[in-house]
Amino acid sequence: MTKPPLTLYLAAPNGFCAGVDRAIKIVEMAIEKWGAPIYVRHEIVHNKFVVDALREKGAVFVEELDEAPTDRPVIFSAHGVAKAVPAEAERRNMVYVDATCPLVSKVHIEAERHHENGLQMIMIGHEGHPETIGTMGQLPDGEVLLVETPEDVAQLRPRDPARLAYITQTTLSVDDTAGIVAALKARFPAIVGPHKEDICYATTNRQEAVKAVAPKVQALLVIGAPNSSNSRRLVEVARAAGCDYAMLVQRATDIDWRALEGVGAVGLTAGASAPQVLVDEVIDAFRNRFDVALELVETAQENIEFKVPRVLRDAS
């Protein structure tokens, strides 16, 4: 039986960013240095496949510090933690390694600097997301007000409208965030902010690549987990760019093949926490069903690498 032809446009960059790469390395190197089990507070990155692979090697995932014993090292996930978390680890005399992405830590430092200058902070982010909780938790309660939409800006009741700064989650939609920043600047002309926003290079690049692919395809798949903010944003970006059928899939078995019947061009990308094996798996699944022409749509090249913390570097 002949397979129907299909052009598969692979957005690039896709998949692992430097922060994810570093976080996974930290867990692996900690297991090498201290042996198993190594405790990890929260999924190291939001991907079941990554988490399961590390669990196989001896990592134990917990949601809160008090679920880990005090006599084993604990690692904080790439999303960052509130100040209270390392403080509690120290109080309990625990060995801990912080796998917070350096680009998230940069936002933490920014928040502290503004606070020292007497500014109240507005954080643009998603309520309940671990990065938002961690970043807001850098400052005392009430010092960071959260907004998720331009409408939220109208509801803000800051202490002093003339003494404000804003910070953002690193994985937001670049375009949606620009709208919220505009609303903030319109209501609080004196608000201080980062040069653009705190959205990281990897988030920006993956969204740009999706925008380049979306007009070429009738369907676009994003490999990523339902709790992965950056991956979910890629689905929204694809839809906003005119691709109505944009779906998040965790792996090949999630693909709704009936929805793709008769489609001649499909886009594919992967969130920053999705491993390459899953991209390969999805491409293979397409090859099993279609006569695939694979085309790379590359809008940027990345060569950023972050060092692991010294305590692990010295070990190797």
Task: Give catalytic residue positions.
Answer: 131
Only segment of 4-12, 115-123, 214-222, 265-273 that touches ligand 2E4 (CB under 6 A): 265-273
Cβ within 8 Å of residue 76, ≥6 positions away: 41, 42, 85, 86, 96, 97, 98, 99, 100
Decide: is 14 part of the binding site for ligand 2E4 (CB under 6 A): no
Which 8-state DSSP code applies to residue 192? B
Query: According to CB under 6 A, which one of 168, 171, 207, 231 is a site residue for ligand SF4?
Result: 171
Which structure tokens are listed for 134? 């961690």
Q: Can you give the C-alpha Rg of the chain in angstroms?
A: 21
Angle CA 27–28–29, to nearest 5: 95
CA distances from 72 to 69, 75, 77, 256 (A): 6, 10, 16, 43
Decide: is 17 part of the binding site for ligand SF4 (CB under 6 A): yes
Decide: is 225 part of the binding site for ligand SF4 (CB under 6 A): no
Interaction residues for ligand 2E4, span 53-92 (CB under 6 A): 78-79
Q: CB count, 10 Å around CB of 262?
A: 7
Decide: is 19 part of the binding site for ligand 2E4 (CB under 6 A): yes
Between residues 199 and 243, which has the closer beta carbon with respect to ligand SF4?
199
Query: According to CB under 6 A, which one of 120, 177, 205, 273 is a site residue for ligand 2E4?
Result: 273
Decide: is 229 part of the binding site for ligand 2E4 (CB under 6 A): yes
Over the window 64 to 93, marking each residue x when it contacts ligand SF4 by CB under 6 A and - when it does not, the resulting string is: --------------x---------------
Dmax (CA) of the chain: 71
- Please, what is the end-to-end C-alpha distance for the chain in angstroms? 54
**Inter-residue contact 66 to 100 (CB < 8 Å):** no
- Name 296's bridge partners: 10
Between residues 51 and 164, which has the closer beta carbon with respect to ligand 2E4?
51
CB-based closest residue to ligand 2E4: 228
By CB under 6 A, name the binding residues for ligand SF4.
17-20, 78, 101, 103-104, 170-171, 200, 202-203, 230, 272
